[in-house]
Each structure stands twice: as C-alpha cells, then as structure tokens.
Structure 1
C-alpha cells in the first residue's frame, strides 16, 4: 500500500530492487551497485526540474526523458551523498555500470526501458608482457622460498602463480576455497562469473597448475595453517589475510576492534596487496636491464593470460581433497 504523499514509483522501485537482489545470479558486488543506483534514482526524483511524470510509475521513470535526466545528474556528480577528492564527474565506466543496473531493475520490475546510449570505454591498457611476468614471478619466488619469508609475499607468490595459470579475476580468486584444489595441487577449479551486461550462467573450469605454482601453493598452505588457528572452525577460503585489520566496529571503550589474521581475503584487500608488492618490486628492479615498471592493477597482468581450461569429459574431474592438510606431503 502506497504511503500518503509518497510517489507511487518508489514502492515499485523498492519491489524491483528486492526481486533483483533475490536472484541467484546477483553477486555481492552487483547487489551493492543495484542499491547504489536505486538510491540515486530516489534522490533524482527529489531534484528540481526532474520530469514530474516519472513519479507516477516505474514504467514512466524508465522512459527516455527521465533516464536521460538521471544520467545527466549522475554524470555531473549531483547525486553524490558525500564529497570525494578530485572532480565529482563520473567516468564512462561508472555510467555503463549504472546502465547495466537500470537494465536489471527494469527486468525485475517487468517494465520496458528506454535507456540512453552507452558511452564508449577507453582503449584497454597494454597487458604485462612475458618478460615482465617472468621477472615478477622470479622476484616473488626469491623472497618467498626461504625460511621466515614474509607471509604476504608467500601468499602473493602463490596467488600470482594461479593468475598466470588461469587468468582468473580478483573476484574469482577470492571465491576460491581449499576444496577447489585437488589433493596433489595439480588442478584448480575456477567458477567464471558473467561480466557487464551478460546474463549467461557462471561457467566452471578446471585448470592445470604448473610446477612453480604448485610449489608456491604448497608454501602458502603451510603458512595459511598458522594464520587460521584462531578461526579454524570456519576458515575454508584459499586466500586469507596475513595480519589483523580493522573490523569497522568500536568496542565499549570506543576502540576499534580488530579482525584476526586468517580471515577471508576480499577483492579490495587483494588489490591493495598486489599494488603494495608492485611498488616494492618496481623499486627493487629499477635499473635492471630491460625492466619496465609494472602497472599497479592486477587486471593488466590477468589480461595478458590466455587460459586453456581442461576439456570436460564424461568422467568427473579428479576428486578434491583437503589440500590444506595434504599439501605438506604432496609430491
């Protein structure tokens, strides 16, 4: 039932959002984006000069005039709830994300959509070349393959190995569980998630891991055993934090609570760990013959990889084992 004085479109938008969030294919990242766009639409409806008829129904809101007005406001940064450093204007990439979310909300609300034209994306940056990938891998190995090695470097040595063997994205890497490795660490199962506007179902792939990656994983799983002692009952993520970090919650004394080491690594944490390492390796390798500074984003490394998953057969893939427990004695 519509609240008196409340535009009818808001209840319809809320119902469409809830249906979109309830779908199995909606990832946590996409859910955040959908809530973000729905919040911007609500603020746009309160903006002076916004088409009045858009307040009547979701069908009216998703017509060309209101959506063009919404994208214009969003592009200028007029719908922000808090100030951000630099220009408030939105990038073409964020506008494309908004349009993706509008499509999803329209489908969830079973209404047609007259969306503005999608802005073009800039040309992708040059991927990391084979020599740079080899030097990065060697630098990581030299620092990880020794007693007392920094846990973060051991983790990244293994993680980069998996990226070089599979071309996995950050979100796909963070979704990995120890059960996704076979007991001998020879194969990893990656679930590819649909990207951008795609509504194709996730695809499960089995990738062979090279000998250096298996060695790196064996080292990491040994380190991981020590890190997860405090969270042993729930720790099944392959990649976990190597030190405590703020939980964003204050205790009774007003002090920030810390999450213990061994908690699942999230995409942002993974990206920060990669960037910190690249800063260090670029400084260490400065002046080396043929060295070109590595980019600070994992994506440029990932896009250099042309992965070849193992073909599906009528038999099941090799049975997975508790790799964390068997890694120490695996050949």
Structure 2
C-alpha cells in the first residue's frame, strides 16, 4: 500500500488545514473539528477499496465519489480510532459538522468539493423554561452563597448567572479573561465566534450583568484568588479548575503528572461540572411543586435566553 506521506492529496490537505487553523477568526472549537475531519480523511484514503485516483490531488479527493464514500464510512463509525460502547453510528449533527469542515478545507485548498444533500437536522431539544431556570439559580444560591461552600459550586453559581445574562456558549465562556469584566462587575465582554457553515468573523458584545450575577462573580473571584496561588505566572482566565487533574503526560518515573488547581477551565471540564450539578439538583428537587428534571447539557440552558447586548461590533 502506498505510504500516506507520499500521497499528494494528503500533503495538500495538510497545507489547507494549517492555513485555516492558523487564522485568528477560526475558533478553537472549529479548529478541533477541522483536525478531527482531517484525521478521518487520512484514515479513509488509505483504506483498502477507497478510490486510488483520490490520492492524486485534493481536488480529486474532494470529488463526488470519494467524498460520498468517506461520509458513509464516517456515518457507520468505521473511521473511529477508539472503540465505543453501544451504537457507533454517527449522529446527523456530526455528519453536518463534517460537511461544514469539508467546505472550509476545500476553500482553504482552493478546490471545489462535491457534497451530497445535507441531512435534515433533528429537532432541537426543548430549552430550559423560566421556572426551571429560577429554581436552578435558587438551588445554587442556597448551596454556594455561604461560608465554606464548595469552590466548584461557587464557580457554577457565577457561571450559570453569566450564561443567563449573555447566552454564551461553553467555548466562549472558557475564553473569558479577568480583563473582560467591567470594573464594578457590571458588564462582561464576550467574543462570539459563530458556528456557521462559513468561517464568519467574530463579534464582540458587551453585556450588562444582573445584580445576582455580580454578587455571585464577586464570591467566585474571592475563591479563585485562593485557587491560583500555586499557579506559576499570572492567571488571566476568569474560570479556573477547582482541583488538580491529570495533565495527560508522564513524568520521568512513569507517573501521571498532575496539573494544580487554578489552571484555565476547558469546555469539557465545564460540561462535566454542569452535568454533575444537574444530577444533584434533579435528585434534590424530586417532588418539588412544578419541578421538571433539568437536561444534562448546558446548551439547553443557554438556548433558553435571548440576551440583548448593550454594545456589539465586528472587527
């Protein structure tokens, strides 16, 4: 089998990938998606039975037949690098993301891409209602706004307040710096990086923060100050980890290296923290009049609000 390092199509794919992921307007989330799709394309093109003519150039790779075969392989889960339990079939949303990334890579490589009809998106799950949002905030306040409260609960109380005041996505939340807060915690500046089919320029929005959110943020900033004491350098991220965790690398003795508390919070960590809390609040609120279990994804909370920024502009 021809070595993948000698396949012209992959060399051109790598150049296109580097070109688009190095742009300031490409969000971190989109860059991860593009690398994911590029990895799948690398595994697809060297599979037995994949059209050999697709190796000649990126334009040949992005022709109708190779693209269709790639999407079929991806949909069946045949290009995964790790085994998964249960159904390995890809969701409609992930197929649409792949198609978005193919379009972006094709533009970066200055070649056409021939895509099949885009699959219809499934109906969005119901967002969290106003009463549920109010009860969630009340529960968080009762458990976070008191001496000795768990740092993670204090962080989430402030974070949920910012979500409800701004409608920010997880990636946008994790990108917030201390400098994005107003001097009296009355505003927060959010850089929106649209998750659209095209690489749209980011938009900067300034949102006014409610009184409860300001109070929750002040409590979190006091807790945060304690957490960052062991972190070298100046910690700039607004949201930081509340406990040490594995860095994913080994030290000289072969032991997993721990990252200290106070490191920047990543979207996956944010999602896990929110889900853990929702599990607890759903259990605590069973039997409460009018209570409906909260969904486990922050996205359904975010989509429940329609924020109106005080100021918005594009670069």
Shift of 1:74: 1.1
Distance 1:311 1:226 in 2: 33
Could you tell me whether the CA contact under 8 Å between 2:19 and 2:108 is conserved in 1? yes
- Could you tell which deviates more after superposition, 5-14 or 49-58? 5-14
Could you tell me whether the CA contact under 8 Å between 1:68 and 1:115 is conserved in 2? yes
1:305 corresponding residue in structure 2: 305
Q: What TM-score results when the alignment is normalised by the length of structure 2?
A: 0.95
1:127 corresponding residue in structure 2: 127
Could you tell me whether the CA contact under 8 Å between 1:152 and 1:242 is conserved in 2? yes
Could you tell me whether the CA contact under 8 Å between 2:75 and 2:90 is conserved in 1? yes
Deviations along 1:13-47, one digit per CA (max 9) or x if unpaired, are 22222212222222222222222212222222222
Deviations along 1:191-233, one digit per CA (max 9) or x if unpaired, are 1111131322111011011100011011000001101111162
Aligned length: 312
1:13 corresponding residue in structure 2: 13
Check if 1:91 corresponds to 2:91.
Answer: yes
1:284 corresponding residue in structure 2: 284
Structure 1 pair 4–38 and aligned structure 2 pair: CA distance change class (3 A): closer
Shift of 1:159: 0.5
- Could you tell which deviates more after superposition, 91-100 or 264-273? 91-100
1:318 corresponding residue in structure 2: none
Could you tell me whether the CA contact under 8 Å between 1:97 and 1:196 is conserved in 2? no
Shift of 1:4: 11
Distance 2:104 2:36 in 1: 13
Q: How does 1:51-200 map to 2 (within 5 A)?
A: 51-200=51-200
Distance 2:12 2:207 in 1: 44
Could you tell me whether the CA contact under 8 Å between 2:58 and 2:109 is conserved in 1? yes
Contiguous gaps of at least 5 residues in structure 1: 314-331
Check if 1:253 corresponds to 2:253.
Answer: yes
Q: Cα RMSD (Å) of the superposition? A: 1.8
2:24 corresponding residue in structure 1: 24
Structure 1 pair 152–78 and aligned structure 2 pair: CA distance change class (3 A): same
Distance 1:41 1:250 in 2: 30
Moved over 4 A (4+): none
Could you tell me whether the CA contact under 8 Å between 1:191 and 1:203 is conserved in 2? yes
2:294 corresponding residue in structure 1: 294
Contiguous gaps of at least 5 residues in structure 2: none
SS of residue matched to 2:194: coil
